[in-house]
Chain A
């Protein structure tokens, strides 16, 4: 089903190529991404530097690989963590219902009414982040939509016969949540997790772009765009386009995959 979708295959191939580029690329294309080299700053693309160099003399192609590693790592890890947290929260709220549900979901409403970027900026400005903390901050600010979706699923799943039967046989609530509710909502979880990855990548590059993400000499795609913007009036396009296009390609690839996954999980749409 999933593999019949041509866009999905395009997405998977694109994502595989980008992962290969970022994580295997540096093995074949060696560059110094730690020491500033003011001798060859802002070189335009040419021999030796296929995509030119940036304001600190770092090779842009090499930096694209190293920066991509952080963007992808943070995005993936944050999405996994957020999905886990959101699933747990939503499943518990939906399964128990009543007061528990109301309290838990109003908290979600309250957190949702603060835009992700604002909340993340506040936390990041209080505790300047390392990569691990960045993952934590993004996960903690983006699990909310997942929990809402899973809660909706849990509300309908908890009255199913198999859950009732399990309860009658003396199964615990924890068993219901972990063995019945969460596994049966797997379609929603997987599809949502896919889009979470895209959103998390966009959040991390936004934070880095604003200068409050990962600290130099480490960088990610957002940080590259940020330093590219400083010299935009000189027309150094090669400092802007590679990172921007990389972000767009990753997000589009993930969206293709997510759409295809949704189509293949939704039985209603299968006979189109």
Chain B
């Protein structure tokens, strides 16, 4: 259904608009005067300068005008200007966002590759030694704050054993890709916490699916246990995982913020933390909007993925029905829809339907009443 997609997109747009309103309220709630903050405390003596500043940047207008002005700037990609760093927020984003995307992307990819098999293994060996071991481990890492995990990893692997560097790569994006020695600990830190979350979900998803009727059907038809597990159960269990991936994005972003500040990794989270420390409000609020939009888009994609993956909740059809893979119960050569006979005008009852007659190999109208 295209309707679902449109409704969902509109909803996302409304949410983003609300986020800008919340951000604007936060912007207005900042204690003190922007002009004084930018021009320095001495400007108090010079009211004309302050008034000129307010006029130039629109601070003398009513708040609604200010909001519209600010929203207009946002739509043009102007996220504000960081007076502290003397740079526009979008240029800060340009240099720091790719590093965060890289860190989060690699960690989540590793987490998925590790967590899904662990979750399946746990579900299969339910209440056995394997299950208890990994359940305890995931409890441990789920409860451990990211910064503690990171700190312990630094203490063990870089201070004691000198295997990995204590700080994330400090250079550009190329540096991140080549400098695995420095990148390992931040990635592992972020991945460990994510693995704990994902493996628990995989375990419960697989366990739920193992009790479904189709498993018994497949077993009764003679499919081997392994085939049922990998072909049927796992594929169905990945559906909730896809949703979870979208929903856990805010949590992963918070984790990235902490990981980056533990490892001095100069990504967006670290910059955000520094901005909060130095009360660099334009940077903070610009980043909040970007993160919020990322999260909204993430959950939108998760919802769409859910609809695409799960035929039971298929809101949208990604391909025309004629492209659908043919199932064995359909006739081999299905004539085009155009060859259907016109519906008899005489009858308009709801029970009339057009169906394919395999015997005569033709479409025919019939009434089940």
Give the dominant DSSP class at B's interface.
helix
A188 at the A/B interface (Cβ < 8 Å)? no
Q: A121-B284, A122-B276, A240-B152 are in contact. Are A235 and B159 (CB under 8 A)?
A: yes
> B22 touching A232 by the CB < 8 A rule?
no
| CB nearest neighbor in B for A121 | B276
CA gap between A212 and B30 in the complex, in Å: 17
> A210 touching B258 by the CB < 8 A rule?
yes
> B139 touching A107 by the CB < 8 A rule?
no
> A255 touching B139 by the CB < 8 A rule?
yes
Which listed residue (A113, A229, A247) contacts B15, Cβ 8 A?
Answer: A113
Residues of A near B296 (CB, < 8 A) are 113
Which listed residue (A210, A240, A248, A252) contacts B155, Cβ 8 A?
Answer: A240
| CB nearest neighbor in B for A240 | B151
> B253 touching A206 by the CB < 8 A rule?
no
Residues of A near B151 (CB, < 8 A) are 225, 228-229, 232, 240, 244
- Give B266-282 as 1s and 0s: 1 = Cβ < 8 Å from A's Cβ atoms: 00000011011101010
Number of residues of chain B lying within 8 A (CB) of chain A: 53
CA gap between A31 and B14 in the complex, in Å: 55
B148 at the A/B interface (Cβ < 8 Å)? yes
CB-CB contacts below 8 Å: B137-175 with A: 139-140, 142-148, 151-152, 154-155, 159-160, 166
A65 at the A/B interface (Cβ < 8 Å)? no
> A124 touching B160 by the CB < 8 A rule?
no
CA gap between A117 and B251 in the complex, in Å: 9
> A247 touching B144 by the CB < 8 A rule?
yes
Which listed residue (B19, B31, B148) contacts A114, Cβ 8 A?
Answer: B19
Known: A121-B257, A125-B279. 9 other contacts (CB 8 A): A106-B11, A118-B253, A118-B291, A125-B284, A126-B279, A222-B145, A229-B262, A240-B152, A244-B144
Q: Which residues of B contact A (CB under 8 A)?
A: 11, 14-16, 18-19, 21-22, 26, 29-31, 139-140, 142-148, 151-152, 154-155, 159-160, 166, 250-251, 253-254, 257-258, 261-262, 272-273, 275-277, 279, 281, 284-285, 287-288, 291-293, 295-296, 299
A-B pairs with lowest CB-CB distance, top 7: A110-B18, A251-B143, A244-B148, A117-B254, A125-B276, A115-B250, A113-B295
- Could you show 19 A-B contacts with beta carbons less than 8 Å apart? A106-B15, A110-B19, A110-B21, A117-B258, A118-B253, A121-B284, A122-B26, A123-B26, A125-B277, A126-B281, A206-B146, A209-B258, A210-B261, A225-B147, A228-B151, A229-B147, A235-B155, A251-B143, A252-B140
Q: Which residues of A contact B (CB under 8 A)?
A: 106-107, 109-119, 121-127, 198, 202, 205-206, 209-212, 222, 225, 228-229, 232-233, 235, 237, 240-241, 244, 247-248, 251-252, 255
